[in-house]
Amino acid sequence: MARDHLVTRRVARWLDQRLGSAKLARTALGKVFPDHWSFLIGEIALYAFVVLLVTGVYLTFFFDPSIEEVVYRGSYEPLRGVEMSQAYASALDISFDVRAGLVMRQIHHWAALLFLAAMVVHLMRVFFTGAFRRPRELNWIIGITLLILSIFNGFAGYSLLDDQLSGTGLRIAYSITLSIPLVGTWLASFLFGGEFPGPDIINRLYVIHILLLPALIIVLLTAHLGLVVRHKHTQFGGRGRTERNVVGEPVWPRFAFKSIGLMLLTAAVLAALGGLAQINPVWLYGPFEPANVSAASQPDWYMAWLDGALRVFPPWEARAFGYTVPNPFFPAVLLAGGTFALLYLWPFLEARFTSDTLEHHLLDRPRNRPVRTSLGAATVAFYTVLSLSASTDVVAVTFGTSVNGVLVAFRVACLVVPPVVGLTTYRLCRELQLRDEAAGMAPPERPRIRWELLRVWEWHARRRARAAPTDP
Amino acid sequence: MARARRLRRAPGPWRLPVVVGLAAVATGLALAGTSAAAPTAGPARQGPEPDLVAEGRALYRTSCVSCHGVEGAGQRAPDGALRGPSLEDVGPAGAYYQLTSGRMPIGNPDDLPQRKEPAYSPEEIEALLAYIDTITEGPPVPEVDPESGDVAAGGTLYRENCQSCHSATGAGGALSYGNAAPPLGPPDARQIGAAVRAGPDPMPRFGPDLLTDQQLDDLIAYVEYLDDPDDRGGLALGRLGPIPEGFLIWVGGLGLLLVAAFWMGTRRRDAPRVDPEPPGDEADPGTAGVDAGGNAPLARAADGERDGP
Amino acid sequence: MTGSDADDPEAPRGCLGCSGDGPPPPATGPADGPGADPHAARRAEVAVATGFLASTAGAIGLAVVYWRGGQPQLEGLFLALALGGLGLGFVLWSRRFMPHQPVVEARHPIASTEEEIDRFRDEFEQGEVILTRRKLLVRTAGLAVGALGAALLFPLRSLGPRPGKGLKETPYGRGVYLVTADNQRVRAEDVNRDGVLTVFPEVAADPEEAEEPPRPEHQADSSTLLIRPSGTPRPQRGRDGWTVDGLVAYSKLCTHVGCPVGLYQADTHLLLCPCHQSTFDVLDGARPVFGPATRPLPQLPIGLDAEGYVVAEGDFAAPPGPGFWDRDR
């Protein structure tokens, strides 16, 4: 044991002479992280991403992103002799003829689903506790960008396999791009290299999926974590926790081992799923043929809200002077764009409406911000109903009802459920606040919400008043 | 896909001997205690069996005529609503499908037909088929031989013709206004062949020029494969695609990990009290150190007032 | 987490990196700190060790399964055991044996002091003013940077061709034969009543490559449904002679977002798109009767040639597939 110490000490000194690492390591390992359980959700997302990287690299050794037609000669009998793209054939090879290939492929796909789920829950945690306020607006923006990039990367990833189900999704993506006014046809031509399916789509998706988007994600993720270190993590108030301190565990040794443990547990859950639960059995879907389609075609869960929006949006279209704004533009482009625009702007909107531009390092308990919490809950409810709307045909078949009726029901639900959820949440928050007060807890200071800013017609007068103040 | 060639219709006198021949084989199988479809011998050239047709007519008049009318002409209720459609192009194939899957006879004609136990024995069904054959013009029950079918070719045919309604995995799918394309398992080769040839409402009909007999055998071989496909990835989750996968990742994946996080992290209420003064830091003017459970504003008021209301 | 020491005013609260003068932090966790139950410590140790041993077993199992040919479920299970045992062990180790007293660190406001900002601004502006003094240089530099940026965008043009007539036209024209996916021409009587067949235009092929199926690019936009419905199609304005022998042909691409409309319901003569449930009435020019589609499936005029094969009599009535900005121009 004595020799061990000596060796590690020698190595540490060697590194320090070249990097100055001792001082850096002391600061880094001494950083204090508040240890509330909900702060681990972002870590779960991070570790799912690590699993994605590791399994993804493995898969790149076996996948062939070529759209060239070949005749399948592998070991899956029901497709032997069938013509298919090289990409699909290599996916079949990974699933049937590469040892451990299927388990790696499945872990990779489950990890993508988990990555996005954890990101969404992490986003909700940050939102409901107000952790996006100054100075963390930049980090919020980086986080939303990470979400968007990951959604696209997931879509690109499962479309690589050139199976019937994902090919249908690609066709829908092409048509949505086409629907953008003025530039849609050009954008679609640039993305696909021509008309659908294009001569080279799989290769382009491959570059996007293994190089462009992961590189962007890694850079932004590093910035995201760097900002957390720079700003220090937020914490809940109470029991000596203030805006001027950070109370928690030091990185070394407890937090580090807890985090490594969580990483291994995340990987373990993904490994179990990858081996025990079949995901995306492309051999049953068959190779992509543009003229074929299967019943019960849905995208992966993180795009279900888009599919649901496409289904429930009524058949409205705008046509004038020979120009068309086609129907899919409204649910797929406008709604999606509006969603993310609102997400990006939220910290600034809230700051404006609450006149609160101070630095905040203490988190809100959601009940103490009933307006924010109920608006957020209503939004979550809206996107949940939209996501469930993607399953209209499966719901109809499972429950033996008319798919037409199910669709109408979901349309109504999209409009009715969010306000109901919002109002209920608001009442719940007030109830909990009253209970806190009864239990003797002092109510925290709540900002006044400047609802008058919503009066659009007053903006002009307000701007004029600000430009020419009455008192010199 | 069917190769384009001249239409070949079996001329009239052939049909009845074929049916009788099939009836003879079917009766033999029923006596032997098996119900599996088997490659049939060539059509036996026998004369019509009047007893079988009469038996069929009697059965028809007992339970079918009330909705489908005399001689299969169809029946309307007094208020004009359709009670039972005409059977004019159902044929033995259509009748075979409906009877062996238990869809017909149906209790309430306004209900959608559901698969259930057949109401008739195989002999009674043969009798009914013999009678139906005399009153309709539809396709005969096909002779099927899925053992000779090529699963790969059948898969291609299935994906071209069938998966859009029955889904890629044979799980079935929704149709308009409450109708549904049923799941395809457990497979009965002859029943599948009869359904394909007869096109029971609302299914389209695939005659011998759209799908040759060999193609039908290939197709049935693939449908039989779909009953027990390669699920080497693990739990099949109903083979419904991304929907159950999404549910599983939220409940079994993230749900499990959130439980783990809840266990290994701390809860706000259990956090121990600390002295808010960080050690070694010079006394910071204006540190509030408020134990309010809410937000304590920072001491540096200048930051806030710059962007006032 | 037991907080038995937290209320003790003498409780140490130093941390790595702090410049505090307090006594060094304890090297014990809740299980083996002062006042801890030694049996509990032993139990915790056994738990952690079991985790690590289970992990080892999992790793060995994984190696064995792989060496013996591999099996996905066992691979996943053993990998999960190997990772999970290790992870659980680390988490338990940290919770039971590593110091758990909360540590307090100072947090300083992010924003710099006014003096620092002013100092930075002065120093920066000293450099900046040198630049802005020379207006001509600033302007020409701006011009050059802008031009370079714009020029660098030009190679993006190579990503795809100009969207052209291909979006509005298909290989169909007068006299083009309808063929199946196997490149076989179709006779009218091949499609029985209540039958539906997916067909494509016969692409004029190279004489040497006569047996090649149509290129996907051609198939993708021009897949067509040839239907013989059991009812009579209602006559459509300006479309006399577009049907032949009871057969009617429509584009298979949904006018919503382009999925193939594969579900033909023979009894109600409705075509249902499985993607978003747009429904089209085959007897009424395939106009949409339900769902998000706004335009009917474009009809293809068909006729027969001298030998009874089905031919197109022209291109689709409208550009097939989903809408786009200048579709109607």
Locate tokens 């083979």: which residue? B239
Alpha carbons A267 and B265: distance in angstroms, whole number: 18
Alpha carbons A314 and B242: distance in angstroms, whole number: 25
- The SS3 of residue C124 is helix
Most confidently predicted of B31-45, B120-134, C28-42 = B120-134
Locate tokens 């299927």: which residue? A102
Tell me which residues of chain A, numbers 312 to 351, contact chain B at a CB-CB cutoff of 8 Å.
none
Tell me which residues of chain B, numbers 273 to 302, contact chain C at a CB-CB cutoff of 8 Å.
273-281, 284, 298, 300, 302
Alpha carbons C211 and C184: distance in angstroms, whole number: 10
Model-level ipTM above the cut of 0.90? yes
Answer whether residue C221 shows pLDDT above 70. Answer: yes
Task: Return the HEC string of A114-158.
Answer: HHHHHHHHHHHHHHHCCCCCCCCHHHHHHHHHHHHHHHHHHHHHH
Locate tokens 């089905």: which residue? C310
Contacts of C288 in chain A (CB under 8 A): 315
DSSP-H helix ranges across A277-402: 282-285, 304-312, 335-354, 370-388, 392-399
Answer whether residue C266 shows pLDDT above 90. Answer: yes
Q: What confidence category does residue C26 fall into, taking pLDDT thresholds of 50, 70 and 90?
A: low
Which among C280, C299, C277 is positioned nearest to C288, based on CA atoms? Answer: C280
Contacts of B113 in chain C (CB under 8 A): none
Which among B140, B138, B165, B168 is positioned nearest to B155, based on CA atoms? Answer: B168
**Beta-carbon separation of C104 and B205 below 8 A:** no
What mean pLDDT, rounded, does chain C reach? 86
Answer whether residue B19 shows pLDDT above 80. Answer: no
Alpha carbons A255 and C231: distance in angstroms, whole number: 73
The pLDDT value recorded for residue A470 is 64
Answer whether residue B40 shows pLDDT above 60. Answer: no
Are B222 and A78 spatial neighbours (Cβ–Cβ below 8 Å)?
yes
C161 interfaces chain A, CB cutoff of 8 Å: yes
Is residue C276 annotated as a catalytic residue, yes or no?
yes
Are A444 and B294 spatial neighbours (Cβ–Cβ below 8 Å)?
yes
Contacts of C22 in chain B (CB under 8 A): 279
What the block records as the tokens of A230 is 């720079």
Enumerate long-range contacts of A184-191, CB under 8 Å, 24 or more apart. Answer: A184/C324, A184/C325, A185/C163, A185/C167, A185/C324, A185/C325, A185/C326, A186/C160, A186/C162, A186/C163, A188/C163, A189/C159, A189/C160, A189/C161, A189/C162, A189/C163, A190/C156, A190/C159, A190/C160, A191/C159, A191/C160
Nearest chain A Cα to B259, which residue?
Answer: A37
DSSP C106: E
Q: Which residue has the higher pLDDT, C307 or B293?
A: C307
* Position A406, amino acid: V
Over its C-alpha atoms, chain A yields an Rg (Å, rounded) of 26
- For residue A25, CA distances in Å to A231, A258, C291 come to 18, 19, 61
Q: Which residue has the higher pLDDT, B52 or A310?
A: A310
A303 interfaces chain C, CB cutoff of 8 Å: no
Alpha carbons A393 and C274: distance in angstroms, whole number: 8
DSSP A438: H
Q: Which residue has the higher pLDDT, B136 or A3?
A: B136
The pLDDT value recorded for residue C209 is 56
Lowest mean pLDDT among A399-408, B72-81, B84-93, C143-152: B72-81
Give the E-state strand segments of A24-89 in sequence order: 32-33, 69-71, 83-85
The pLDDT value recorded for residue A425 is 98
Compute the residue count for chain C: 329
Note if the bond before A447 is cis, omega within 30 degrees.
no
pLDDT in tens, B231-254: 999 999 999 999 999 999 999 999
Answer whether residue B26 shows pLDDT above 80. Answer: no
Which among B122, B134, B144, B129 is positioned nearest to B191, based on CA atoms? Answer: B144
B36 interfaces chain C, CB cutoff of 8 Å: no
The pLDDT value recorded for residue A285 is 96
The pLDDT value recorded for residue A74 is 94
**Beta-carbon separation of C1 and B202 below 8 A:** no
What the block records as the tokens of C86 is 């290790």
DSSP letters, chain B, are: -PPP-------HHHHHHHHHHHHHHHHHHHHHT--S--PPPSPP-----HHHHHHHHHHIIIIIHHHH-GGG--EE-TTS-EEE---TTTHHHHHHHHHHTT-SS-S-TTSPP-----SS-HHHHHHHHHHHHHH---PPPPP--GGGS-HHHHHHHHHHHTHHHH-TTS--EE-GGG-EEPP-PSP-HHHHHHHHHH--TTS----TTTS-HHHHHHHHHHHHHHHS---TTSB-GGG-THHHHHHHIIIIIIHHHHHHHHHHSB-GGGPPP--SSPTTPPPPTT-----SSS----S-HHHHHHT--
At a CB cut-off of 8 Å and minimum separation 6, what does A444 contact?
Answer: A237, A364, A368, B292, B293, B294, B295
pLDDT in tens, B167-182: 999 999 999 999 999 9
For residue B295, what are the β-bridge partners? none
DSSP letters, A383-424, are: HHHHHHGGGHHHHHHHHT--HHHHHHHHHHHHHHHHHHHHHH
**Beta-carbon separation of A103 and C159 below 8 A:** no
pLDDT in tens, C282-309: 999 999 999 999 999 999 999 999 999 9
Nearest chain B Cα to A292, which residue?
Answer: B160
Pairing outcome for strands C287-290 and C279-281:
antiparallel
**Beta-carbon separation of C160 and A323 below 8 A:** no
Most confidently predicted of A103-107, B83-87, C41-45 = A103-107
Answer whether residue B17 shows pLDDT above 70. Answer: no
The pLDDT value recorded for residue C19 is 43
Answer whether residue C31 shows pLDDT above 50. Answer: yes
Lowest mean pLDDT among A64-73, C22-31, C157-166: C22-31
CA distance A402 to chain C (A): 11
The pLDDT value recorded for residue A408 is 96
Compute the residue count for chain A: 472
Task: Tell whether the torsion through CA atoms of A41, A42, A47 and A49 is positive or negative.
Answer: positive
The angle formed by the CA atoms of residues C101, C105 and C110, to the nearest 5 degrees, is 150
Alpha carbons C284 and A14: distance in angstroms, whole number: 83
Lowest mean pLDDT among B46-60, B143-157, B271-285, C70-84: B271-285
Q: Determine which one of C100, C108, C256, C269 is catalytic.
A: C256
- The SS3 of residue A372 is helix
State how far Cα B3 lies from the chain centre. Answer: 28
DSSP letters, A199-267, are: SSHHHHHHHIIIIIHHHHHHHHHHHHHHHHHHH---EE-BTTB-TTEEEEEEIIIIIHHHHHHHHHHHH
Alpha carbons A297 and B171: distance in angstroms, whole number: 12
Compute the residue count for chain B: 309
The pLDDT value recorded for residue B290 is 34
Q: What's the pTM?
A: 0.89
Nearest chain A Cα to B150, which residue?
Answer: A78
pLDDT in tens, A273-314: 999 999 999 999 999 999 999 999 999 999 999 999 999 999
Contacts of A396 in chain B (CB under 8 A): 174, 178, 180
pLDDT in tens, C52-64: 999 999 999 999 9
The pLDDT value recorded for residue B309 is 36
What the block records as the tokens of A284 is 């049953």
The pLDDT value recorded for residue B268 is 82
**Beta-carbon separation of C185 and B176 below 8 A:** no
DSSP-H helix ranges across chain C: 38-67, 72-97, 114-133, 135-153, 216-222
DSSP letters, C13-69, are: ---TT----SPPPPS--TTTSTT--HHHHHHHHHHHHHHHHHHHHHHHHHHHHHHTT
CA distance B90 to chain C (A): 12
A287 interfaces chain C, CB cutoff of 8 Å: no
Alpha carbons B170 and B150: distance in angstroms, whole number: 18
What the block records as the tokens of B158 is 């299935």
Alpha carbons A87 and A156: distance in angstroms, whole number: 13
- Which stretches of chain A score pLDDT less than 50? 1
A26 interfaces chain C, CB cutoff of 8 Å: yes
The pLDDT value recorded for residue C24 is 53
Lowest mean pLDDT among A38-52, A398-412, C35-49, C196-210: C196-210
DSSP C278: -
Alpha carbons C314 and C301: distance in angstroms, whole number: 6
Is residue C218 annotated as a catalytic residue, yes or no?
no
Alpha carbons A256 and C247: distance in angstroms, whole number: 72
Alpha carbons B111 and B114: distance in angstroms, whole number: 9
Other Cβ atoms within 10 Å of C4 Cβ, number: 14
Tell me which residues of chain B, numbers 204 to 223, contact chain C at a CB-CB cutoff of 8 Å.
204-207, 209-210
Most confidently predicted of A216-220, B134-138, B270-274 = A216-220
Nearest to C83 among A198, A251, A268 (CB): A268
Are B233 and B245 spatial neighbours (Cβ–Cβ below 8 Å)?
no
